[in-house]
Amino acid sequence: MFDSVLLIELFIFVLAVFVGFEVITKVPPTLHTPLMSGANAISGIAILGALLVAGQKDFTAGAIIGFMAVILATVNVVGGFMVTDRMLQMFKKSPVDKN
Amino acid sequence: MNDFDFDLFIGALYLVAVIFFYFGLKRLGSPKTARSGNLIASLGMLIAVVATLVDREIISFELIVAGIIIGGLIGVIMARAIKMTAMPQMVAVFDGLGGAASALVAAGVLHGNIADGTDMSVDVSVTIMIGTLIGAVTFSGSLIAFGKLQEIIATRPVTFPLQKTVSLLLFVGILAMIGYLVADPDMTVFIGLSVACLLLGILLVIPIGGADMPVVISLLNSYSGLAAASAGFVLGNVMLIIAGALVGAAGLILTQIMTKAMNRSLVNVVFGAFGAVETVSGSAAPGGEARPVREVAYEDSAVILAYARSAIFVPGYGLAVAQAQHQLKELGALIEAKGVAVKYAIHPVAGRMPGHMNVLLAEADVPYDKLYDLDQINDEFSSTDVVVVVGANDVVNPGARDDAGSPIYGMPILNVDRAGQVIVLKRSLSPGFAGIDNELFYKENTSMLFGDARESLVKVISAIEDL
């Protein structure tokens, strides 16, 4: 029933979750929002699937579904990374004291 | 042969993209490197997209190009136009879009397979259904969260009789439809499944109150990653699985930090309908009659602040509502020039999403090293002359610390009541979003400054300038 490819994919998934935990655990609270919106932009990775669905044959209903997915995922990716950058460029440290 | 080379090429680029995502996220963890981290992650995304476009499964590009242009334009406009105070809504919308895109991918694959008459193995159809479920729940749940944050929908928990039973029945119905669809794929039933999943998302988020939004936003963030990962399982695409898993993990960690900061469990937030039940059975509040609070004049606040040695500002959601971050910063700079040591204390769940206050204050040019976390600053209140609470409520409620009968008992709070003086800027005496009375307002060392936070701050600032 479950072929080995799916098993390997599950292994990859679980390990990637662990990597995610390790990378993100120590992020300071100040960066929680940018981290969230940056991660959110990465979740727009669904755009890859959207491209594959939208690029099939001609204008079938399936391709239209893919087309909508491409639009939504692109908004997610482009908007997500841009707004994260907009936030991060505001984060500044205190100027070094002259006294 | 050429065929094989293409796959190898795509795979190699995916590997590069994964490495970029890893380092991008890692660099997002420190203020100095965060901006470059975001850039690296976005480059990783670009590489992954370019790699995918090489795929031989993609035959026509018209829809792709049109979709990217339309989506890209909308994304740019949204990212530029959004106000920092509205950032939680923005994140909610983006979570929803990611979820919707993933669900549509699952739907598109299913439609393609049915149209082509492809026989789907059980694992393929099961992953399609799970992808649809997670994606659709993320989408509709995020829309409800957006509505609550934008205050289109009541921010208080919306509950109705038998709510949990209805949700449970709906979930059972969804499982039944999935079972049916796995045995006999059919687009009509699939549409029914999608609608049911959307409904489930609504039912899951609508009973959750405004103050719990940081948890919900983090959780939906995690879902959007899991939705992408499940789309990856549908397509057998490792890139989606890894990136989705990373995001899923990030969202889960934030969710955990938020629930910890509220001393609640995730189950309690999601199913507790906090605040709806507790019209508070008295607890510390003596029955009925209005209790006296001390109001303070702007001039007096100005004197207190200008002649203090140390001050701590405690912002909350009210700061975002009043968009008063610039005025707060101005006040801080003004009294700093008079020799007052100014710090900002940020509770992890202040505002409507993790880090909400930090973003607002960063926008107002407050350096991030002046912002202190709960653990860093809580011992300093007792030796601080004056605390200014701007639109925060539950996170400074001493009842959470002292009153075992309080519904928020056990939630870690900022000990502002231990400071020499506390000035509370508040619109009115209405209870916070948890609907709980706040002992702080009735304490002897507390003065209330009623009115819009921004207007109050402007008046205090000009009063200090007139001193």
What are the residue boundaries of the structural domains of chain B, listed by start?
A: 1-81, 93-277, 298-466
What's the whole-number mean pLDDT along residues B210-231?
A: 92
Would an 8 Å CB–CB cutoff place A36 in contact with chain B? Answer: yes
Strands in B386-390's sheet, in edge-to-edge order, are B371-373, B341-346, B310-315, B386-390, B421-426, B446-450
B273 CB contacts (<8 Å, ≥6 apart)?
B157, B159, B163, B207, B208, B209
What's the pLDDT band for B279 if we cut at 50, 70, 90?
Answer: very low
How far is C-alpha B163 from the chain's CA centre?
Answer: 24
Burial of B25 (0-12, 13-18, 19+ CB in 10 A): buried
What's the whole-number mean pLDDT along residues B130-149?
A: 95
- Is residue A32 pLDDT above 90, yes or no? yes
DSSP string, A31-80: GHHHHHHHHHHHHTTHHHHHHHHHTSSSS-HHHHHHHHHHHHHHIIIIIH
Average pLDDT, chain B: 89
How far is C-alpha B193 from the chain's CA centre?
Answer: 28
Q: At B420, is the secondary structure helix, strand, or coil?
A: coil
Neighbouring-strand partners of residue B448: B295, B424
Q: At B448, is the secondary structure helix, strand, or coil?
A: strand
Q: What residue segments make up the domains of chain A, in order of their start?
A: 34-91
Burial A55-81 (b: 16+ CB within 10 A, else e): bbeeeeebbbbbbbbbbbbbbbbbbbb
- Is residue B15 pLDDT above 90, yes or no? yes
What's the pLDDT band for B435 if we cut at 50, 70, 90?
Answer: low
Which residue of B97, B233, B355 is in closest CB contact with A76? B97
* Percent of chain B predicted with pLDDT > 90: 67
- Is residue B158 pLDDT above 90, yes or no? no
| Chain A partners within 8 Å of B67 (Cβ) | 50, 54, 67-71, 74
What's the whole-number mean pLDDT along residues B34-41?
A: 96
Name the DSSP class of B120.
Answer: P
CATH architecture, range B298-466: 3-Layer(aba) Sandwich (3.40)
CA A96/CA B2 separation, integer angstroms: 58
pLDDT at B374: 92
pLDDT at B332: 95
pLDDT at B29: 92
What's the whole-number mean pLDDT along residues B276-296?
A: 54
What's the whole-number mean pLDDT along residues B447-463?
A: 93
pLDDT at B428: 77
**What is the torsional sign of CA B179, B180, B183, B187?**
negative
pLDDT at B404: 87
| Chain A partners within 8 Å of B82 (Cβ) | 83
pLDDT at B436: 73
Helices and strands (H, E) in chain B, number of each type: 17, 6
Would an 8 Å CB–CB cutoff place B404 in contact with chain A? Answer: no
B289 CB contacts (<8 Å, ≥6 apart)?
none
CB B232 within 8 A of CB A49: yes
Q: Torsions phi, psi of B179, nearest 5?
A: -60, -45
What's the pLDDT band for B281 if we cut at 50, 70, 90?
Answer: very low
Higher pLDDT, B104 or A60: B104
Preferred mutation among B52, B80, B97 to probe A, highest tally of A CBs within 10 A? B97
* Percent of chain B predicted with pLDDT > 70: 94
- Is residue B155 pLDDT above 50, yes or no? yes
Q: B218–A36: do the CB atoms touch at under 8 Å?
A: yes
For residue range B351-396, what is the model confidence (pLDDT) as tens digits? 889 999 999 999 999 999 999 999 999 999 999 999 999 989 889 9
- Is residue B192 pLDDT above 70, yes or no? yes
What's the whole-number mean pLDDT along residues A43-52?
A: 95
Q: B249–A94: do the CB atoms touch at under 8 Å?
A: no
pLDDT at B409: 87
Cα dihedral A33, A34, A37, A43, rounded to 10, equals -120
B236 CB contacts (<8 Å, ≥6 apart)?
A5, A9
pLDDT at B117: 85
| Chain B partners within 8 Å of A42 (Cβ) | 21, 24-25, 41, 44-45, 225, 243, 246-247
Give B353→chain A minimum CA distance, Å: 7
What's the pLDDT band for A99 if we cut at 50, 70, 90?
Answer: very low
CA B47/CA A57 separation, integer angstroms: 24
For residue range B311-347, what is the model confidence (pLDDT) as tens digits? 999 999 999 989 999 999 999 999 999 999 999 999 9
What's the whole-number mean pLDDT along residues A71-84?
A: 97
Preferred mutation among A17, A31, A43 to probe B, highest tally of B CBs within 10 A? A43
What's the whole-number mean pLDDT along residues B18-43?
A: 95
SS (H, E, C) B365-401: CCCHHHEEEHHHHHHHHHHCCEEEEECCCHHHCCHHH
How many CB atoms are located within 10 Å of the residue A94 CB? 10
- Is residue A98 pLDDT above 70, yes or no? no
CA B324/CA B389 separation, integer angstroms: 12
Which residue of A23, A32, A89 is in closest CB contact with B355? A32
ipTM rounded to 2 decimals:
0.93
Across B136-140, B263-267, B283-287, B351-355, least confident range: B283-287
Crossing angle of helices B34-53 and A46-54, rounded to 10°: 20
CA B308/CA B313 separation, integer angstroms: 13
What's the pLDDT band for B274 if we cut at 50, 70, 90?
Answer: very low
First to last CA, chain A: 72
pLDDT at B432: 56
Q: Torsions phi, psi of B342, nearest 5?
A: -110, 130
Helix (H) or strand (E) holding B139: helix B122-149
CA B107/CA B131 separation, integer angstroms: 9
